[in-house]
Structure 1
Amino acid sequence: MDMHGIDLNLLVAFDALMAERNVTRAGARIGRTQPAMSAALSRLRALFHDELFVRSPTGLQPTPRALDLSTPLSDALAQIQRTLDFTQAFEPAASKATFTLALSDHPAFVVLPRLVRRIEVEAPGVVVHVRGFTDRQQAEELLESGAAHAAVGVPARWGTNVISQPLFQERFVSVVREGHPLLAKKVTLKRFLAYPHLLVSPEGDRRGHVDEKLAELGLSRRLGLSLPHMFAAPGIVASSDLVATLMKSVVEHAAAAFPLHVFEPPLALPITTFVLAWHRRNDAHPAQRWLRDMLAEVCRR
């Protein structure tokens, strides 16, 4: 049978006739007049080359052909309805949706535990997959290809197909091990620069916020170690004479595990804003909008 000539409304009418076994009641069930339902039944008979329903003292009786069609067509209509409902409204408590988030290391540490707790309560059937990335280009490729529904990372010059909004902010603090010789006197910029530094650079750069600020002053620092993972830094600092300047939440998390001394860096550093980014084609999707709203809310809290 050629699907191109089939009117979906005819299948809806057939389903109503199977349920009601009466033309008038079937019309009322789907909001059609009795003449409209009679016309639909005539078209159905022509389409399937079968009477489908015959009159009897107890109402319309389905033919064997109609009985064969009933369950498959009813299931198909129900699936179409579920699909339409999913794309028009999202019910978290009943959803079995799967989302893929692209997260750099720090947002995974800060955001993910809070997000998982909220999902467990509000949408226990939802599954979240996490993809890592290290730079803007990789994140944008994940969004562009559809491999990720949203990404959280530092601001970037996204392409025209990517929408972004601020999510949360982090400020930097400096840290050394307890008993570090830097602590013998007041921490001046000169003394701060006298010791080797640890640089965290996920993208493998040799410059960070500290280096950029020092360059404005015509100064530089001596690096002793650079590494891509911020969460390895506190343990390394605790067992060496390296000085590190890290995001405050990372240091606070590590303070219970390592003997560290935290202090304000002797130069003004910018606050880092992390953003939520998503592809423009997903902007109006109810389920993905719910996920973005959830991320924004847990970050506000």
Structure 2
Amino acid sequence: MTRLPDIDLNLLVVLDTLLKERNVTQAAISLGTTQSTLSSALARLRKVIGDPLFVRAPRGITPTPRALAIEKPLHDTLAKLLDVLQPVEFDPSASNRIFVFAATDYLQFVMAGPLMRRVQELAPRVQIVIQPISHHFPWEELANGELDFVLAGYSQPPEGLQSRLLFKDEVVCLLRKDHPSLRRPFDQEAYLALSHIEVQALVGPTLVNQQMATLGLDRHISLTVPHFLSAPFAVLETDLCFTLARRIAEPLAAAFPLEVVPYPFESPSFQVRQFWHLRMQDDPSHRWLRGVMAGLTLGEES
């Protein structure tokens, strides 16, 4: 029995061409090779298959019964193989692909609207599923395909992941419109005199708390919440100060009677990156959505 490792697939292409042309010269021209190279390949085919395959004829070569029996299945198999090996094309307008993200609620707030507006324009049947990030970076979920992307503020990806910078953000303060502190300069002393709302960090201290610790300062946290959603409503009802990313603060201030105030210390800036697993680097659908996300200006000048 002939084992597959004994067969050079190029020899099968030669055989398919010889069966089509029934002429060594024409087959060599079709394959872009010489007659001597083709004759050598035919000799190898005869040895592998155990049959002469062709005999000389007045106008070329005539296939043996064994070659004729091989002809159609060989041609069909090669056609299927070539089809399988063709680069996969992705048509977003016809795709119903489901992409799964993990993101903090901050990034869901910032990204979901602009991303879906663009996706619906280009790929109306594509679905986006966003899951919350837990207390660990979901490396395994990216590796095993449960997640397509992670959107997070990590500066460096774990080994085996690729990343792309999406945008940068900075810290500002949010107060209610009629807050007493807005009647005078909002300086460091005024900031530290207030009580504050804090969104619980997933891992370690927040950027602001890190800065306070470095400066040897302390701010009074009156309310800690697990998500951004509840914090602005507490600000509306109290004199609490909410320190948060500008990209959340400005839309909230536009929608509610809230005021965005510059953070009175050097504002900690941070990067938001898109992470994906290396194995998805060349996937056409994945590459398409990465490009869509990179093209979102998210309020920045393009």
Structure 1 length-normalised TM? 0.74
In the alignment, structure 1 residue 248 sits paired with structure 2 residue 249: no
In the alignment, structure 1 residue 14 sits paired with structure 2 residue 12: no
Spell out the pairing of 1:156-167 with structure 2 (5 A cutoff): 156=155, 158-167=157-166
> Which residue among 213, 217, 220 is the counterpart of 1:222?
220
Relative to 1, partners in 2 of residues 1:150 and 1:191: Cα closer, same or farther, differing over 3 Å? same
Shift of 1:163: 5.0
Relative to 1, partners in 2 of residues 1:11 and 1:217: Cα closer, same or farther, differing over 3 Å? same
Counterparts of 2:100 and 2:20 in 1: how far apart (Å)?
A: 40
In terms of mean alpha carbon deviation, does 144-153 or 167-176 score higher?
A: 144-153
Q: What is the root-mean-square deviation of aligned Cα atoms in Å?
A: 4.0
Kept after mapping to 2: 8 A contact 1:18/1:70: no
> Which residue among 68, 71, 80 is the counterpart of 1:66?
71
Counterparts of 1:47 and 1:129 in 2: how far apart (Å)?
A: 53
Kept after mapping to 2: 8 A contact 1:102/1:131: yes
Counterparts of 2:124 and 2:16 in 1: how far apart (Å)?
A: 33
Structure 1 counterpart of 2:188: 189
Counterparts of 2:238 and 2:174 in 1: how far apart (Å)?
A: 11
Relative to 1, partners in 2 of residues 1:161 and 1:58: Cα closer, same or farther, differing over 3 Å? closer
1:95-145 Cα offsets, whole Å, 9 max, x none, are 96876554333344434554555566677897766554245x424334455
Spell out the pairing of 1:20-99 with structure 2 (5 A cutoff): 20-48=21-49, 63-80=68-85, 82=86, 85-86=87-88
Relative to 1, partners in 2 of residues 1:152 and 1:15: Cα closer, same or farther, differing over 3 Å? farther
Relative to 1, partners in 2 of residues 1:122 and 1:48: Cα closer, same or farther, differing over 3 Å? farther
Kept after mapping to 2: 8 A contact 1:15/1:74: no
Shift of 1:176: 1.7
Kept after mapping to 2: 8 A contact 1:53/1:66: no
Counterparts of 1:121 and 1:105 in 2: how far apart (Å)?
A: 24
- Quick one: which amino acid aligns to residue 170 of structure 2? R
Kept after mapping to 1: 8 A contact 2:172/2:267: no
Shift of 1:7: 0.8
Shift of 1:50: 5.8
Structure 1 counterpart of 2:257: 259
- Quick one: which amino acid aligns to residue 73 of structure 1? L
Counterparts of 2:128 and 2:165 in 1: how far apart (Å)?
A: 21
Counterparts of 2:122 and 2:13 in 1: how far apart (Å)?
A: 34
Kept after mapping to 2: 8 A contact 1:115/1:295: yes
Kept after mapping to 1: 8 A contact 2:250/2:260: no
Kept after mapping to 2: 8 A contact 1:140/1:158: no
| Gap regions ≥5 residues in structure 2 | none
Counterparts of 2:133 and 2:45 in 1: how far apart (Å)?
A: 54
Counterparts of 2:100 and 2:295 in 1: how far apart (Å)?
A: 18
Shift of 1:75: 0.7
Kept after mapping to 2: 8 A contact 1:50/1:65: no
Counterparts of 1:261 and 1:183 in 2: how far apart (Å)?
A: 9
- Quick one: which amino acid aligns to residue 231 of structure 2? A
SS in 2 for 1:220: coil
In the alignment, structure 1 residue 200 sits paired with structure 2 residue 202: no
Relative to 1, partners in 2 of residues 1:281 and 1:204: Cα closer, same or farther, differing over 3 Å? closer
Counterparts of 2:113 and 2:27 in 1: how far apart (Å)?
A: 51
Structure 2 counterpart of 1:270: 268
In the alignment, structure 1 residue 171 sits paired with structure 2 residue 170: yes
Structure 2 counterpart of 1:5: 6
Kept after mapping to 2: 8 A contact 1:134/1:202: no
Counterparts of 2:192 and 2:99 in 1: how far apart (Å)?
A: 45
1:169-222 Cα offsets, whole Å, 9 max, x none, are 1012111222233334443434433443111234065x4233233333433222
Relative to 1, partners in 2 of residues 1:100 and 1:12: Cα closer, same or farther, differing over 3 Å? farther
Structure 1 counterpart of 2:236: 238
